[in-house]
């Protein structure tokens, strides 16, 4: 296995669409350390976000470095080229040291017949079942599971290998962290499939340190988990056991851990995740992104006056463009246009009404799940407003920063990684 840059056990991905929140985010990380929670900050931004906003990966690095200098941060941090593939990775290479290789689009593309046969042949002993410490019953494998998993994932993991080697050639393998993500595939992966996928990654000699499976249930953007919580808990624990088994069995990096592409705000499963990682002594990476942009809009609304008007303007401009804004996020949002408040209703809202509709407090009667998901995907409107939006971010810095820090620390870092 090639050398690699090592990631710490606990890390959190923090998206920052407009590049103004790095300091407020880093403050959440430093406050967490004061509470005894050691989490490494990672600034992630996907190609999709860069394209919609018109930013470059170097902007993410510059924003992070600015915050690091101001705050005197002297520990690890990373810049994640999130969801890249061979056609999009190049512009990320200079400014990133964490690459999320996304091969979900290639699943189902068949590998060479002899490669599939070789993979199945190498795993014949699995047909007797695999006993994994921490899992009560041996994981069951059938010939058809080996076959279907190889047909679905082998080519894409070979492609992940090509992408990894492409990055390593240009950057030097010791200068970055590799994640492989299959979270945007059609179906969730079972723990048995995860084990086979990790075997494929090991055969490609990728020093993978974070692996993002698709978990059972819906991980919609900016709102809570929807699904079978008991099943999630069982599979999440089994996935943790599979990862530590794969580290030993396939000689993968000891720092390998699960990466949860949370879509933010999965409050009902955070306690399960926290208990499970502490129980198993496992590391974890969790990505958040849009929740930080939503706090910007909440901060603007809370500020009132012209800032509230701007928050309303974003909705007013977004509403007629519903289809266009939802389209890039269609698999990860559940919004019905007829369930959204009308523009006239929102125009009549007070600051309190706007904030309580948008802030993710499910116990608040004014909370509006559909409104929140729609504002989540409407950041393109703010990008189009250009300096009008970014000047407002500067002008109302204090109130926005307070919301960003509080949200990241109290609604994410503490519930996911905290000890209590
Ligand atoms: Zn993802």
In the prediction, which pLDDT does 347 show? 98
Break the chain down into helix, strand, coil percent, rounded to 5.
55, 10, 30
Domains of the chain by range and CATH?
Answer: 10-291+409-417 (3.20.20.70), 292-406 (no CATH)
Per-residue exposure over 271-298, b if at least 16 CB sit within 10 Å of its own CB, e if not: ebbbebbeebebbbbbbbbbbbbbbbbb
Q: For residue 299, what are the contacts with CB-CB under 8 A and spacing of at least 6?
A: 307, 396, 399, 400, 401, 402, 403, 404
Residue 42's nearest CA partner among 1, 85, 5, 88 is 5
In the prediction, which pLDDT does 19 show? 96
pTM: predicted TM-score of the whole model, two decimal places: 0.96
Is 56 in contact with 50 (CB distance < 8 Å)?
yes
Q: In 3-state terms, what secondary structure has residue 297?
A: helix
Residues measured by CB to lie within 5 Å of ligand 1, the ion:
183, 261
In the prediction, which pLDDT does 420 show? 62
In the prediction, which pLDDT does 293 show? 96
Instruction: Show the tokens assigned to 289.
Output: 């992104």
Half-sphere exposure of 387 (CA within 13 A, CB side): 0
Distance 123 CA to ligand 1 centre (A): 29
Phi and psi for 233 in degrees, rounded to 5?
-60, -45
CA distance 411 to 416: 9
Distance 291 CA to ligand 1 centre (A): 14
Distance 100 CA to ligand 1 centre (A): 9
Spell out the per-residue pLDDT of the chain, length 420, in tens: 789 999 999 999 999 999 999 999 999 999 999 999 999 999 999 998 999 899 999 999 999 999 999 999 999 999 999 999 999 999 999 999 999 999 999 999 999 999 999 999 999 999 999 999 999 999 999 999 999 999 999 999 999 999 999 999 999 999 999 999 999 888 999 999 999 999 999 999 999 999 999 999 999 999 999 999 999 999 999 999 999 999 999 999 999 999 999 888 999 999 999 999 999 999 999 999 999 999 999 999 999 999 999 999 999 999 999 999 999 888 889 999 999 999 999 999 999 999 999 999 999 999 999 999 999 999 999 999 999 999 999 999 999 999 999 999 999 999 999 986
Distance 106 CA to ligand 1 centre (A): 15
Is 134 in contact with 241 (CB distance < 8 Å)?
yes
Distance 314 CA to ligand 1 centre (A): 26
Distance 192 CA to ligand 1 centre (A): 21
């Amino acid at each position: 296995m090639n050398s690699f840059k090592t990631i710490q056990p606990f890390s959190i991905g923090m998206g920052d669409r407009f590049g103004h929140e790095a300091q407020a985010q880093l403050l959440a990380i430093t406050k967490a350390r004061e509470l005894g929670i050691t989490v490494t900050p990672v600034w992630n931004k996907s190609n999709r976000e860069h394209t919609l906003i018109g930013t470059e990966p170097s902007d993410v690095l510059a924003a992070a470095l600015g915050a690091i200098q101001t705050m005197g941060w002297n520990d690890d941090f990373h810049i994640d080229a999130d969801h890249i593939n061979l056609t999009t990775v190049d512009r990320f290479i200079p400014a990133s040291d964490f690459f999320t290789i996304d091969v979900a689009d290639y699943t189902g593309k068949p590998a060479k017949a002899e490669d599939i046969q070789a993979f199945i042949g190498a795993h014949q002993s699995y047909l007797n079942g695999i006993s994994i410490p921490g899992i009560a019953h041996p994981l069951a494998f059938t010939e058809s599971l080996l076959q279907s998993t190889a047909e679905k994932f082998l080519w894409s993991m070979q492609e992940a290998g090509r992408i990894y080697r492409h990055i390593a050639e240009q950057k030097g393998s010791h200068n970055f962290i590799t994640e492989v993500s299959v979270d945007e595939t059609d179906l969730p992966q079972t723990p048995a499939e995860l084990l086979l996928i990790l075997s494929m990654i090991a055969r490609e000699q990728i020093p993978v340190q974070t692996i993002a499976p698709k978990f059972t249930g819906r991980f919609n953007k900016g709102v809570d988990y929807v699904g079978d919580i008991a099943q999630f808990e069982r599979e999440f624990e089994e996935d943790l056991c599979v990862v530590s088994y794969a580290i030993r069995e396939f000689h993968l990096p000891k720092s390998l851990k699960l990466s949860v592409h949370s879509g933010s705000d999965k409050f009902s499963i955070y306690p399960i995740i926290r208990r499970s990682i502490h129980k198993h002594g496992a590391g974890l990476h969790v990505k958040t992104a849009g929740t930080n942009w939503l706090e910007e809009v909440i901060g603007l609304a809370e500020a009132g006056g012209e800032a509230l008007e701007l928050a309303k303007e974003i909705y007013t401009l977004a509403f007629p463009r519903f289809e266009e804004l939802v389209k890039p996020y269609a698999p990860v949002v559940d919004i019905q246009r007829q369930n959204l408040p009308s523009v006239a209703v929102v125009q009549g809202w007070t600051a309190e009404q706007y904030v309580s509709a948008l802030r993710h407090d499910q116990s608040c009667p004014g909370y509006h799940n559909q409104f929140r998901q729609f504002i989540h995907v409407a950041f393109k409107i703010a990008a189009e407003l250009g300096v009008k939006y970014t000047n407002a971010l500067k002008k109302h810095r204090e109130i926005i920063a307070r919301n960003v820090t509080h949200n990241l620390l109290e609604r994410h870092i503490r519930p996911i990684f905290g000890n209590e």
